[in-house]
Amino acid sequence: MSTPFPVQDPSTGAPVCPRHPDRVSYVSCQRCGRPTCPDCQRSAAVGVQCVDCVRESTKAVPSRRTIFGGVARAGRPVITMTMMAICVVAFALDLAIPKGFIFQNFAYAPFLTESEPWRMVTSAFLHSTNFMHIAFNMYALWILGNALEPAFGRARFLAIYLVSALAGSVGVLLLSPIDTVVVGASGAVFGLFGALFVVQKKRGGDLRQIVVLLLINAAIGFIIPNIAWQAHLGGLIAGVLCAAAVAYAPTKNRALIQWGGIGAVALLLVGLTLWKVSTFPIIIFG
């Protein structure tokens, strides 16, 4: 605890630093008035403050918040760039490592859900060897991430992204044949599309462009073969639900309600997964 009175050496009466009693200091903190040695001095707007006062004043300053309660940070969208980097590195490794090691060990298929459930998330960071597949998803992720990450804050944005990625796999699990193999960030990207729709509606913005983009991308999933529209649908629904929990949470207990809502969506996905796996036929060998 700080004291407004200088600390003195009892033998000499000279002021000493309270953090380092063996050091005499005639420089006092401008805030608490205690002596402070060079190691404990911090430059302030006026004069010098001790390290304890600087720490206390930092705690007293409230952190800036985004419109939806996240911690506001200046600069580039770090989470968006990190997700993109992981996808690009995984794509490069899949091309570089022979025999499809990355694809075989991290892609998702419903029949692998019970034995290797982590694939439901890892598959969202993989893409086919078709360059257009990853290029489209990374472009969409960059555009959506730049719009949503500053609004939600890093933690909430990451949570919505990952839950949407999981929901994409749950959509495949529920609606696709058991041997369907899927990879791609499309489920998570559609989750961000859904989140952007919620944000625009909350802000009273124009929804027509977002609806048109959603319809076009949804149609592509039915027109072009080998595109898992089931993952798109699952991610979209989860993204809407998570974003609604964040955007429409009341001011009182906002963080608790937001994280509780996202957690409820995640628990719902886990419950649907367990239920669907329980309906799988039992294969008896021998």
Tell me, what's the pLDDT at 224? 64
List phi, psi (to 5°) of 216.
-65, -50
Q: Which of 20, 43, 232, 278 is catalytic?
A: 232
Question: What phi-psi label fits residue 69: left (phi over 0), alpha (psi between -120 and 50 degrees) or beta?
Answer: left
Please check the confidence at residue 66 and state whether its pLDDT lies above 70. Answer: yes
Q: Please name the CATH architecture into which domain 78-278 falls.
A: Up-down Bundle (1.20)
Question: Rounded mean pLDDT of 80-102?
Answer: 92
Phi, psi of 135 (to 5 degrees): -65, -45
Q: pTM score, two decimals?
A: 0.76
- At residue 225 the predicted structure's pLDDT band, cuts being 50, 70 and 90, is low
| pLDDT at site 109 | 95
Long-range Cβ contact pairs of 29-37 (< 8 A, separation 24 or more): 29/53, 31/57, 32/2, 32/3, 32/4, 33/4, 33/5, 33/6, 34/2, 34/3, 34/4, 34/5, 34/6, 34/7, 35/6, 35/7
Q: How confident is the model at residue 152 (pLDDT cuts 50, 70, 90)?
A: very high
20 catalytic? Reply is: no
pLDDT interval class at 3 (50, 70, 90): very low
Mean pLDDT of the chain: 87
The domain spans of the chain are: 1-61, 78-278
Question: What is the mean predicted confidence (pLDDT) over 43-54?
Answer: 79
Residues 24-46, mean pLDDT to the nearest whole number = 81
The stretch 177-191 carries a mean pLDDT of 94
- Please confirm, yes or no, whether 43 is among the known catalytic residues: no
Per-residue pLDDT band at 43 (split at 50, 70, 90): confident
CA 104 to chain centre: 26
In this predicted structure, what is the pLDDT of residue 186? 92
244-262 average pLDDT score = 94
Check pLDDT > 60 for residue 286: no
Please give the average per-residue pLDDT across 157-179, as a whole number. 97
Q: Among 42-51, 158-167, 249-258, whose mean pLDDT is lowest?
A: 42-51
Task: Give the span between the Cα atoms of 170 and 46, in whole angstroms.
Answer: 58
The total number of residues written for the chain in this structure: 286
What pLDDT does residue 214 have? Answer: 77
Residue 283's pLDDT is 54
* pLDDT at residue 236 is higher than 80: yes
